[in-house]
Amino acid sequence: MALWGGRFEEGVGELTQRFGASLPVDKALYKQDIAGSIAHASMLAAQGVISQEDAAAIREGLKAIEADIDAGRFVFDINDEDIHMSVEAELTRRIGEAGARLHTGRSRNDQVATDTRLAAKALAKELMQANASLRHALLDAAEAAGGAVLPGMTHLQHAQPVLFSHHLLAYVWMFTRDFTRLRAAFDAADASPLGAAALAGTSYPLDRKMSAEALGFARVIPNSLDAVSDRDFLLDLEYACSVMAVHLSRLSEEIVLWASQEFGFITLSDAFSTGSSIMPQKKNPDFAELIRGKTGRVVGDLVQLLVTVKGLPLAYNKDLQEDKEGALDAAHTLSQCLEVMRGMVSTWTVNADRMRAVMGKGHLAATDVADYLAKRGMPFREAHAVVGHLVLAAEKRGVDISELPFEEFKAASDLFEPDITGALDLDAVVAARTTEGGTAPARVAEQRAQAEVALKADEASLTYLTPVVEMGQGA
């Protein structure tokens, strides 16, 4: 009979027992559950609700159970339904009556909310660390790229030349924002529901702040109904995961393009490529493609939770059992994707000569030719039209605008002088983009320094996070 079975004459059927069990998922939270129980027992003893002797026996028993799970010696029984009942039943079996006193003044509702918040903090911190590692790899790759220039694109068409390092730094800033979202998810989870009991609080003289401090929570949730029913913090975590997965997917798509024969901008390491079972010449960017594919899985986890919580009345409902699997999956999937992306970026070879070779297509200097005329007094819209005609003339000749003879320029406008050839040099075009955030080498160097400062600050902030109950491995 279940721990709650006193009111029932019959046990749950085997089918419904398995259907309703959350143990296959929430056993991953055994460290959080045990930490919460130890904090609760210590608080009960401090408040005189249970004896110090019982609290000591509970602590020792729970630590022994944790050690057994860590070592893989603990046998989980699906009849226990969830991790809370599994641990409590084993504790009572080991230490007797004292174990049965552990649940005084609490419900599985506030217990599961506590476990889940502790897990969310641990997962957010792990992802912040992985995020920082990838940013290091991208910053290193940006520095190693030196003066390599590639065609910057809009609509996947050649637009203007940019430093490859500038392009990579765009992703660094995306992942910097992702770190901020993860930190916000951590902070949202950093509040204790323990002591809210089932939904209304309890008549026992609990010290909620004491148990919150013992578990490393920054604060106590002020409303007992909200404490047991809120899953906003998981939505925050899964949203942060989804946005970062989208950023990884965008970078993966570019890697797939860059590694193709048509582009050839990078060569992936063999360690991050695969071959074909039938075509021996193939070297496929499978892992970039897989990261791109796994994005749908992470986003799907967010959508699942949004739909789960959208119509729930207060307070706790069994639907909320479905909150953890998606969050764990999203975090673990994203963690793997971050590690693989870090490896790809750290080991690829940049083919700067190939990038340079394709720069003669797409009339990349056209905007600067228009700027040349505008700086000499021609309205930019008129200059735009003049250069458009020059591009058309170049295409009819089968050349790039930079290859047109000076006579063509002079025929298009008397404002052109022989120095127009300087405006057609792609390195000069890059160097001219000196506005803050632009692609000029000096500006990119400044930007890289700013990104490094932001990364150091983020890494330093991890050391000041409230204590985290790390995720276990033994389950």
Q: Which of 155, 224, 277, 335 is catalytic?
A: 155
Contact yes or no for 348/268 (Cβ under 8 A) = yes
Longest dimension (CA), the chain: 99
Q: If 0-12 CB within 10 Å is exposed, 13-18 middle and 19+ buried, where does residue 159 land?
A: middle
Whether residue 133 lies in the annotated active site: no
Quick one: DSSP state of residue 222? Answer: S
- Beta-carbon contacts of residue 17 (< 8 Å; ≥ 6 apart): 11, 78, 79, 81
Cis amide prior to 331 (ω within 30 degrees): no
Are 120 and 237 in contact, with CB atoms under 8 Å apart?
Answer: yes
Active site residue 276: yes
Closest CA to 26 of 92, 81, 102: 81
Tokens 């899953």 correspond to 231
Render 334-374 in DSSP notation, one character per residue: HHHHHHHHHHHHHH-EE-HHHHHHGGGSS-TTHHHHHHHHH
12-32 in b/e form (b: 16+ CB < 10 A) is: beeeeeeeebbbebbbbbbbb
Secondary structure letter of residue 399 according to DSSP: S
Helix (H) or strand (E) holding 298: helix 286-309
| DSSP-assigned letters across all residues of 232-247 | HHHHHHHHHHHHHHHH
Give me the catalytic one of 51, 260, 269, 276: 276
Positions annotated as catalytic residues are 155, 276
